[in-house]
Amino acid sequence: MSLILVALVLLLVGGSGWGALHLKRRLERSERDRRRAADELNRRLSELFSLQELSYILAGSLQLDRIVEQVVRYAMRFLDAQGALVALAAEGEGGGGAGGERPLHVTAAEGTLAGLAGREVAPSDPGLVARSLGRERLELVRSSSGEPTRLLEDVAVDSAAAVSLRAHGVVVGTLVIANPRDRAFAPEDMRLLSTVATHAAIVIANARFFQMVQHAKEQWETAFDALSEGIAVVDDHGSILRANRALAAMLGAPLRAVIGCDLGEALLGPSPALQELLVAAREGGRVQPVVLRSAPLGRTIRVNAARIPAPAPAPTAAQDQNIVVLVEDVTDQQALEAQLIQSEKLAAVGQLVSGVAHELNNPLTSIAGLSEFLLEQHDLGAKDRGHLRVIHEQADRAGRIVRNLLTFARKGPGEQAAVDLNDVIQRTLLLMSYDLKLKDITIEKNLAPLPPVLGDRHALQQVVINLLNNAAQAVAENPPERPRVILLGTWVDDRVRMRVTDSGAGIPDAVLPHLFTPFFTTKEPGQGTGLGLSITYSIVEAHGGRITVERPTEGGAAFIVDLPPAPTEAGARDMPEAQVLAPPATKRAILLVDEDPAVRRMVKALFGRDGHAVEVARNPQHALDLARTHPYDLILVDAQTRAEDHLFVERLVEAHPGVKDRVLVATGDLPTAVEEVLARLSLRYVRKPFNLRDLRDEAARVWAAGALS
C-alpha cells in the first residue's frame, strides 16, 4: 500500500514538473510572439507616424522642388537607405500610362546619389531609372551573383528598388531607393515604398497642376495689365471688382482707388447706358458694343461687355453673375474716321464742282471782259453805264464763286511761296476791321513769332477770312449780356498753328458731324452757301495741314489750323515779279487758239482796240501751220486745247521751240496731267475767268521778256 502511495506521489511530482516545463515553454513562446507583435506594431506605428509627418509636410507646400526633396529625404529615412532620387518625366505629349518617350530629369537626389541631381536621363538609357518609368509595379533589383545594379548607363549600386509615380492614370516620374540596410529590401519595406510613391505621385501631380495654373494666371495678369484698352470685372451692381492699369489711367485714379467704384458712374456719370449694356450681357445674349460720349472724361469711348461663366451654383444659393467690360478710347479713331469720310466727300463733290466751274469759266470770261471793254467807252450814257457796271460786278462776283469752287476742288495749293502767316492775319484783320467794328466785335490777338509756311498766300488769306467770318456770325447772335469776342492766336512747336476762338453759343451736337460738309449751312436761305468751312478744310488739307474744332467748356467754338513750316530754302524764292509797264504803243501780231466763240470775240475786241492784229486759228492744225509761217509776237492758247492725243501747247513747243517765250496759256481748273505738262514746259499763264487788266498785264510781261532777250 505504501509502495503504491509512493509511486503515486512520484508520478504526481513528475507530472507536475513536466507540466511546469511545458507551461514555461508556452509562456516563453507567447512572450516572443508578444514581443514580435509589439515590435511589428511599433514599426507600423512608426511608419504611420512618419507617413503622417510626410503627408503633413507635403500638404503644407505646393512648391514642386520642396515636395520632391521631402519625398527623397523621408524615403531614405523610412528604409534606412544610403541613397534615393526622384526623376520626373518632362511635361507635354506622351503623357500616357507608360510614360511614352519622354526624357527624365533628376529633380532631387540625396545620400550616395546626390551627385545625380539635375541630370537628364534619355528614354533609351538602359538603367533602372528609365526602365522603371514604363512598369506598372515596383521593380526590385538584387543581384545574387554580387554584380552591381545599374541605375543609369554609367551609374551602378549594390541593390536598388524603383517604383513609378503614377497619379490619375498618368506617370509623372519614378522614385528610386539604393542600398538599404543590410543590402536587402524586406517585404514591409516594399509596401511602405509603394505607399510613399502613391502619395507622392498625387502631391507631385497637384503641384505641377498648381504650377501650370499659376503660370497661366501670371500670363493672364500680364496680358490683362498690358492691354491698352481698359478692362474691368464688375459685379451685379456694376461695382468694379478688378481693373487693369489702362482703365485706372483712363479714370485718372490709382489702381487701388478704382476697385469698388461704380463703373457706370465713373465713365458716364448719371447716364443709364452702361447699366443697360450690363443687363443685356448678364442675360447671356450677344452684346453689340456701344459708342458713348463720356462727359466725366471728355472723351468718346466704345464699351463692350460679356458674362463670365460661373461655377455650377449651389442648390440653395444663387451665384453672382460677374461681367467683364472692355472700355476703349475711340476719340482719336473717330476723328481720323471723320477726317477720312470728310476727305472722301470733298473728293466726290470736288469732281462735280471742278467740271461745273470749268464750264462756267469761258462764259464768265467773255461776260466780264466785254462788260469791262464797254465800260471803257466814253460815249455811254449814265444809265447804260450803270447797267454795265452791275453786269460787270455780278460777273466778277460769279468769278469769285468759281474761284472758290476751284479752290475747294483743287488737290494742291495753286502757288508755292514762303508765306508769313502772321502777316496774312494782320492784313486780313485790317481788311475786315471796319465790318467787325460795325458789329461791335472785339478782336483779341496773341501772335507769336512764326517761321514761314509754304503755300498760296491768297488761299491762306481765304482760310483766315472764312474762319473770322464764321466766328463773327457766331458772336453776332449773342444776347446783350454776353460779350462778342474773337480770340486769335498763333504759336509754333513742330508745326505752325493758328487758333480762332469765339464767344458764341457753341456748336450743337447735331451740327458737329456736318461742320465741313459742302453746302451744309444753318443760316437762313440766301444767307450762306455752306461752302466757307468746306473750302477752308480743302485749302488747309491741300497745304499739308489739318483743321480741327474744339468746344470749350465755357462755351463758344475754337478752330485750330496747323501747317507744316516751310523748308529753310523756300524763303528766298518765289519773289513777286516787278510791276509791269503800261502796254507799249508798238502794234503786235497775236495768234489766238481757243474754241469758245465768246472768248474769241472778247480777245479780238480788246487787242483790236489797242491797235494789235489778232488772227484766230480755225483748229489746232491750222494754228500749227500759222505758227510755222508767221512770226507772231504773242500766241494765246486755251490750256485744254488738244492736237490729236496731245495737248496743243506741247505739240506747238515741240514743233516750234523758238516760240516758247511768246506763248501765254489761258487756264482754268486743270487735271493733274495737264498741270504737270505746263510746269515741265515753264510757260506763262493767265487764269480764267480773267479781266482786261489781267490779260493786258500778262501780255505785256511776255513782250517785255522778249525785248530783254
For 83-106, the pLDDT digits (tens) are 999 998 887 544 444 445 678 889
3-class state of residue 170 by DSSP = strand
Tell me the average pLDDT across 348-362: 71
Decide if pLDDT at 492 tops 60.
yes
pLDDT value of residue 238: 84
How many other β-carbons are positioned within 10 Å of the β-carbon of residue 591? 24
Closest CA to 335 of 299, 303, 290: 299
pLDDT value of residue 708: 57
DSSP category for residue 310: P
Decide if pLDDT at 642 tops 90.
no
Question: For the segment 648-670, what is each residue's pLDDT rounded down to a tens digit?
Answer: 888 888 888 888 888 888 877 66
Greater confidence (163 vs 411) lies with 163
pLDDT value of residue 96: 44
Single-letter residue type at 451: P
Name residue 700's beta-bridge partners.
Answer: none
pLDDT value of residue 449: 92
Tell me the average pLDDT across 536-542: 85
DSSP category for residue 419: E
Tell me the average pLDDT across 539-557: 87
Contact 522, 477 (CB under 8 A): no
Decide if pLDDT at 223 tops 60.
yes
Non-local (6+) Cβ contacts of 352 within 8 A are none
pLDDT value of residue 420: 92
Greater confidence (311 vs 82) lies with 82
Contact 238, 264 (CB under 8 A): yes
Helix (H) or strand (E) holding 177: strand 170-178
* Strand segments (E) across 353-495: 417-419, 442-447, 453-455, 485-492
- Gyration radius of the chain's alpha carbons: 51
DSSP category for residue 270: T
Greater confidence (668 vs 525) lies with 668
Greater confidence (413 vs 442) lies with 442
pLDDT value of residue 194: 80
Measuring CA to CA, how many Å separate 463 from each of 349, 406, 460, 531? 19, 14, 5, 12
Per DSSP bridges, beta strands 485-492 and 442-447 are: parallel
Greater confidence (390 vs 56) lies with 390
Give the least confident one: 39-43, 65-69, 269-273, 286-290: 39-43
Residue count of the chain: 709
CA geometry: angle 141, 143, 144, nearest 5 deg: 135
Decide if pLDDT at 342 tops 80.
no
pLDDT value of residue 376: 79
Decide if pLDDT at 221 tops 70.
yes
**Highest mean pLDDT out of 175-189, 586-600, 677-691:** 586-600
What is the rounded distance in angstroms from the CA atom of residue 642 to the CA atom of residue 636?
A: 14
**What is the pLDDT of the chain when averaged over all its residues?**
78
pLDDT value of residue 141: 64
Tell me the average pLDDT across 272-295: 81
Closest CA to 489 of 584, 568, 422: 422
Q: Which residue has the cell 514642386?
A: 64
Which grid coordinates belong to 470? 464764321
3-class state of residue 326 by DSSP = strand
DSSP category for residue 257: H
Question: For the segment 686-708, what is each residue's pLDDT rounded down to a tens digit?
Answer: 877 776 777 888 888 888 876 65
Question: For the segment 126-170, what is each residue's pLDDT rounded down to a tens digit?
Answer: 888 888 877 766 666 665 456 788 888 888 888 888 888 888 778
Which grid coordinates belong to 60? 503644407
pLDDT value of residue 563: 93
Non-local (6+) Cβ contacts of 419 within 8 A are 452, 453, 454, 455, 456, 457, 460, 566
Closest CA to 709 of 655, 633, 654, 639: 633
* Strand segments (E) across 475-610: 485-492, 496-502, 546-550, 557-563, 589-593
C-alpha of 233 from chain center:
23
Q: Is the dihedral of CA 455, 456, 457, 462 positive or negative?
A: negative
What is the rounded distance in angstroms from the CA atom of residue 626 to the CA atom of residue 614?
A: 12
Reported confidence tier of residue 580, pLDDT bands at 50, 70, 90 = very low
Contact 702, 684 (CB under 8 A): yes
Give the least confident one: 67-81, 214-228, 565-579, 598-612: 565-579
How many other β-carbons are positioned within 10 Å of the β-carbon of residue 479? 6
- The answer to whether the bond into 313 is cis (omega within 30° of 0) is no
Contact 203, 58 (CB under 8 A): yes
Tell me the average pLDDT across 13-33: 71
**Highest mean pLDDT out of 93-102, 180-189, 524-533:** 180-189
Contact 68, 88 (CB under 8 A): yes
pLDDT value of residue 477: 84
What is the rounded distance in angstroms from the CA atom of residue 424 to the CA atom of residue 414?
A: 17
Which grid coordinates belong to 471? 466766328
How many other β-carbons are positioned within 10 Å of the β-carbon of residue 651? 19
Q: Is the dihedral of CA 610, 615, 617, 622 positive or negative?
A: negative
Non-local (6+) Cβ contacts of 151 within 8 A are 113, 116, 127, 128, 129, 157, 160, 176, 178
Contact 155, 130 (CB under 8 A): no
Per DSSP bridges, beta strands 684-687 and 663-667 are: parallel
Secondary structure (DSSP) of 72-133: HHHHHHHHT-SEEEEEEEPSSS--STT-TT--EEEEEEEETTGGGTT-EE-TT--SHHHHHT
Greater confidence (578 vs 126) lies with 126
Question: For the segment 417-476, what is each residue's pLDDT rounded down to a tens digit?
Answer: 889 999 999 988 887 887 788 888 889 999 999 999 998 887 888 899 889 988 888 888
Decide if pLDDT at 582 tops 50.
no
Which grid coordinates belong to 133? 518609368
pLDDT value of residue 13: 63
φ, ψ of residue 543 to 5 degrees: the values are -90, 15
Non-local (6+) Cβ contacts of 110 within 8 A are 69, 72, 73, 76, 83, 84, 85
Tell me the average pLDDT across 602-609: 82
φ, ψ of residue 552 to 5 degrees: the values are -60, 150
- Percentage with pLDDT > 90 across the chain: 6
DSSP category for residue 377: -
What is the rounded distance in angstroms from the CA atom of residue 475 to the CA atom of residue 470?
A: 9
What is the rounded distance in angstroms from the CA atom of residue 71 to the CA atom of residue 301?
A: 56
